[in-house]
Amino acid sequence: MAQFSLVGSPEPFLHVSMQRGDKIYCESNAMVMMESPLELKGRLQGGVMQSILRRFANEESLFQQHIEAVRGDGDCLLSTALDGDMQILDVGATQYILSDGAFVAAHDSVNVKARLNSSIGGALFGNTGGLLVMETSGQGQVVVSGCGTLFEIQVEPNKEVVIDNGHVVCWDSRLQYSLSVTTSQSSGLLGNLMNSVMSGEGMVLRFSGHGKVVICSRNRQNMLQWLMAKLGGGNSSSSSSLNSQGGTDLLSQFFGRR
């Protein structure tokens, strides 16, 4: 089975060491480097309908990259689209639900499929896949990413954990979860809405049960909105601003020159 490891800091590469016959799949454009014994192909993972569902659930391309060691042993390096950290998760006894854009790569023995969101609130208002979410099955490892630094929270019985919706990367599928507009539980609907406006907090996810939640230090949507505001995202001329010298300079300052 292919060996995953993270190299570099604070924005690591995913290093994949493969032996002949090993297979992995990853998101489109994730491959940075690979050695000649490896072969890369674009495929509709899980068929046409599952690829369409995944596209809506995960805001990613219909096609995923499949890498196979067909001519011998070899290594490859993968990266994420936005700056941030990655985490390697063991899948088998524990399965996970992934938030939008969190999936990076997985062993071929692991399935990552879209399914209906069991939280009605999340389906209507959430930033965790909306009507659809991504869930793992099978055995092996899956790699997830989030903006900024990743941190694990262990949810214990009788101690509900409340997390800002935009900072959730993935969670143990055995956890119960619901979405609300505030951290308060006793203010009523109007009071909760007012508290949400005054506190600056938006949607939060409430987790209960026993299991792990992975969170990130940066809210991806807020970061992208901030970038678009700096680049004049609401103006008609902004569609080409990322290609302008000013836009390039700003992105270089924010993300760091590569």
Q: Are residues 7 and 75 in the same domain?
A: yes
pLDDT at position 232 over 50: yes
Q: Are residues 94 and 196 in the same domain?
A: yes
Listed as own residue / partner, the contacts of 47-55 with beta carbons closer than 8 Å and 24 or more positions apart are 50/113, 50/114, 53/113, 53/114, 53/132, 54/112, 54/113, 54/114, 54/134
**Residue 236: φ, ψ to 5°:** -65, -25
Q: Are residues 120 and 232 in the same domain?
A: no
CA distance 147 to 221: 10
Per-residue pLDDT of 78-91, as tens digits, reads 999 888 999 999 99
Q: Which of 109-123, 181-195, 198-212 has the lowest mean pLDDT?
A: 181-195
Q: Are residues 243 and 129 in the same domain?
A: no
For the chain, the domain total comes to 2
Q: Are residues 56 and 19 in the same domain?
A: yes
**pLDDT score for 200:** 44
Q: Are residues 60 and 98 in the same domain?
A: yes
List the strands of the sheet with 13-18, edge to edge. Answer: 3-7, 13-18, 74-78, 31-34
Label residue 224 by pLDDT band (50, 70, 90).
confident
Q: Which residues, in sequence order, are CB contacts of 206 under 8 Å at separation 6+?
A: 160, 161, 162, 177, 178, 179, 180
Percent of the chain with pLDDT over 90: 50
CATH number (domain holding residue 155): 3.60.160.10
Q: Are residues 182 and 226 in the same domain?
A: no
Amino acid at 224: L
Q: Are residues 242 and 122 in the same domain?
A: no
List the strands of the sheet with 23-27, edge to edge. Answer: 38-43, 64-69, 23-27, 103-107, 140-146, 85-91
**pLDDT score for 190:** 46
The domain containing residue 42 runs over which residues? 3-218
Percent of the chain with pLDDT over 70: 68
Q: Which of 109-113, 209-213, 224-228 has the lowest mean pLDDT?
A: 224-228
Q: Are residues 59 and 186 in the same domain?
A: yes
CA distance 160 to 132: 24
Q: Are residues 181 and 234 in the same domain?
A: no
The pTM for the full model equals 0.77
CA distance 14 to 3: 10
Q: Are residues 242 and 154 in the same domain?
A: no
CA distance 90 to 124: 30
Q: Are residues 234 and 113 in the same domain?
A: no
